[in-house]
Amino acid sequence: MKFTAAELAKVLKGSVDGDPNATVTSFAKIESGKEGQLCFFANPKYEQYVYTTRASILLVNKDFEPRDTVVPTMIRVENAYAAIAELLKYVSDQKKSYRRHRGLRSHIACSARIGKKVYVGDFTHIGRNCLIGECTRIYENVYIGEGTVIGRKCILYPGVRIYPGMVIGDNVILHANCVIGSDGFGNVPQEDGTWEKIEHLGKVIIGNNVEIGANTTIDRAEMEATVIGNGVKIDNLCQIAHNVQIGDNTVMAAQCGIAGSTKIGKNCILAGQVGIVGHVTIADGTTICAQAGVIGNIRKSGQVVFGSPAIDRQLFLKSYALFKKAGEEK
């Protein structure tokens, strides 16, 4: 990459404060920026580095008023944090080249329909009657079971496993070794103490613009479908059980576990290691803080919950103050 401040300001709809011909070829954190690099300043606690960084270009909020000399050329934008995300995506898109490729050691069933400019790496298997949208990239060692539908401009990284009959939308990213469509954990206890497996005949439906992290598993439904809504972002090492429904634009950090038939609303935030029992409903806009354990319905939209069992933030903080004080008493 090589961009001038003027070019970047045009892309980001910002204004240049300094040399419009300042040039960058890479990105860096503000505390370690060097000449030829671009940094951004969005968090006030990093302001000290604004005056010490040697970066050539610095993205800042348009209302930022420096208290000392700033060496880099500044590009003022509405929101520097959002702008850096937009810029990284722009640079990534510039690097992409959609082209047709079929690895010589891949296996593609004759009945599979593959769109234009689809990349298929070596040792990848695409089963019968699959439908793959144009400009999708399927890297090495991917397994796609028969009858699976995958949309346009998806990325399947090495080791992804997709069971037969799954449905995946457009612009979906599946990171290495994630598994889509494995059987849910359903077993019926028998009189002799053994367990009888419940067959799972449903599917997983993943919407558009979804990203699923490495080693995450999403189980197929017993009947009907496990549903991941549009714009959902799931981190690494998460477990989504059978028949779960996750609403649009919900995000989930690493090591979350969602038990079967739970319904999570839109625009929710699940921090790391959240656990949710089965057959509960989580309202839209709920924030569940790290390591919280949800054992019942959350009906109020926009609520923030802490703890295990998870309770409202204000109640948790009051309770914490009491049991912390009790622990300090002699």
Q: Which residues are catalytic?
A: 242
Phi, psi of 107, rounded to the nearest 5 degrees: -125, 120
Partners of 162 in beta bridges: 144, 180
For residue 49, give every residue at least 6 positions away whose Cβ sits within 8 Å of its Cβ, in sequence order, or none: 30, 31, 33, 41
**Sign, CA torsion 110/111/114/115:** positive
Task: Determine contact, residues 112/93, Cβ cutoff 8 Å.
Answer: no
Report the distance separating Cα 66 and Cα 74, nearest Å. Answer: 11
Of the candidates 137, 130, 139, 140, the residue with the CA atom closest to the CA atom of residue 108 = 130
Strands (DSSP E) found in 28-105: 37-40, 57-61, 73-77, 101-102
What Å distances lie between residue 84 and 48, 53, 124, 251, 252, CA to CA? 19, 17, 35, 20, 22
Tokens of 11: 């892309």
Residue 5, helix vs strand vs coil: helix
3 state SS for 52-70:
CCCCCEEEEECCCCCCCCC
Are the beta carbons of 245 and 226 closer than 8 angstroms?
A: yes
